[in-house]
Amino acid sequence: MSIPIYKRDLIPCLLCYDPMCSKTCNYNQEPGKVLRSLRFSNYKGAVEKLTNACINCNADCENSCVIPKQVKIKAILSRCYDEKITHNLNFKRNILKSDICGIPIENPFLLSSSVVASNYDMLKRAFIAGWAGASFKTISMFDMHEASPRYSAIKGISGTIQSFKNIEQLSDHSVIDNIEMISKLKEEFPNKFLLISIMGRDEKEWKYLAMRAEKAGASALELNFSCPNMTEDETGSDVGQIPRLVELYTKAVTSVVKIPVIAKLTPNVMSMTQAALAAKRGGAKGISAINTIKSITEFDVINGIYDNSHDIAVGGLSGQSVKPIALRFISELTQNEEFSDMHISGMGGIYTYEDAIMFLSLGAKSLQITTAVMEYGYRIIDDLIDGLELFLGENNISMSELQGYNKNKIVDIKNIDRDYIIYPKINHSTCVGCGRCYISCSDGGHQAMKLINRVPTLDSSKCVGCHLCVIVCPTNSITSSNIKIPKNHK
């Protein structure tokens, strides 16, 4: 089931804190939660929440909205309710239990090491909200001296973050304070997974931090070999680029602790394999990836001049735009038999349960998230869990079946079959005649799309089946035919 058109309708919705629409709904349907589920692609979860058709309602939700009448809440909810009734949807659920190196986790979702997981109060709220665990903000013995501002972003046309850049370093709490917080969390939440991220400057520091974290109750350790924002030589992502150091520090840690050790690797390399092999030789039981990607995002043009009010530095990119890069690294690791006995924790741009499925189906067993939480808060866990449970239930597959399901479907580009064409097909009943397919095919394709009286038609003698028209169509009226036609039959 998919209702993509709702995405466009949802753009004006600001996903408010404590939304007025939920407070004023005459049918107690919590429109705020329904809109949020739709925004995070959890269509089934949205539909499931509805108990009433909004008939005879004067739409107080729309009037009380912080931007009155701009979000067509009643119409959106009514269409969802219609969907529920007409399709007689059957909401089956499957459980999300997984494990990290043999230690059970209630679901695969953890906060990744960053500001979102930096103190006791934050993690307490996150755990109560439903997160299965967290990778604690990296603990070190460095003296932190952070910059301001430290974040910048590239936003999409609807104002949402596409790419997020940070120049933040590690935890600014002392080792003692961090250790105290970990002990307290362990005591209060014994079933949550406490992955403690650490970074040392030499073997002695790595060992010291590892032993302190283990003693405080860490479930496992995550060795941060990947922060791109460290200024001292041979720390952070520098280490991840030097397999010899990865092995040395991993060995140092595994020689002093019994809990599982996971190496968090950098994507600022051509291939992650050498560093991952080094971590394995050092005794790591898992790999987590990816940390952020070195980048520049700033240079906002203000009044025609560059904004140079503060220093700009290369920093680490995260968020939706890094997901494709993260997926390629996860695939590199999970396709390699050398790592088949290692836990792979995937992250980079996960926002929705659909993103989660991509990582899991490529072989990740746990997932970590930062940027989506920074943008929308811990509450995103609702639709991650709900959406994934409903997906597994609907498809009648278990978590373990999903994990790695698509692992071998990624073929080497050398081996891709190039002897067929899959033509697009046009649904003229939903096409509005905007001509976007025509423009793109004319100027960025093979001039196969004709537009006569605002009706697009395809000239298959020119079409190469690139699918640009499928991608650009704003109303999803052009889709893939999914039929392979051998090239010599053209």
* Shortest Cβ 318–ligand FMN spacing (Å): 3
Q: Tokens 């025609």 identify what position?
A: 304
Compute the chain's Rg from CA coordinates.
Answer: 25
Contact pattern from residue 140 through residue 179 relative to ligand FMN, giving x for each residue in contact according to CB under 6 A and a dash for the rest: ------------------------x-x-x-x---------
Contacts 24+ apart (CB under 8 A), 434-441: 434/474, 434/475, 436/472, 436/473, 436/474, 437/469, 437/472, 437/473, 437/478, 440/468, 440/469, 440/472, 441/468, 441/469
Helices (H) and strands (E) in the chain, counts: 19, 20
For ligand FMN, the closer of residues 98 and 352 by Cβ is: 352
Which one of the listed residues 25, 54, 227, 469 is annotated catalytic?
227
* Shortest Cβ 275–ligand FMN spacing (Å): 14
For ligand FMN, the closer of residues 48 and 172 by Cβ is: 172
Q: Is 352 in the site for ligand FMN (CB under 6 A)?
A: no
* Shortest Cβ 160–ligand FMN spacing (Å): 14
Measured in Å, how far apart are the chain's first and last C-alpha atoms?
Answer: 34
Which residue from 241, 292, 295, 297 is in contact with ligand FMN, where contact means CB under 6 A?
292
- Considering only residues 209 through 248, tell me which ones interact with ligand FMN, judged by CB under 6 A: 224, 227
Q: Is 291 in the site for ligand FMN (CB under 6 A)?
A: yes
Q: Which of 125, 145, 288, 262 is nearest to 192 (CA)?
A: 125
Give the tokens for residue 394. Answer: 């609907």
Instruction: Please report, to the nearest 10 degrees, the dihedral formed by the alpha carbons of residues 72, 75, 77, 79 taken in order.
Output: -140
Q: Is 371 in the site for ligand FMN (CB under 6 A)?
A: yes
Q: Is 54 a catalytic residue?
A: no
Q: Is 114 in the site for ligand FMN (CB under 6 A)?
A: yes
What is the rounded CA–CA span in Å between residue 183 and residue 115?
19
How far lies 462's CA from each of 267, 457, 466, in Å? 39, 12, 11
* Shortest Cβ 209–ligand FMN spacing (Å): 13
Peptide bond into 190 cis (omega under 30): no
* Shortest Cβ 194–ligand FMN spacing (Å): 15
For ligand FMN, the closer of residues 29 and 318 by Cβ is: 318
- Considering only residues 11 through 70, tell me which ones interact with ligand FMN, judged by CB under 6 A: none
Give the tokens for residue 124. Answer: 């307490």
Catalytic residue positions? 227
Residues lying near ligand FMN in the complex (CB under 6 A) are found at 112-115, 137-138, 164, 166, 168, 170, 197, 224, 227, 264, 291-292, 318-319, 322, 347-350, 369-372
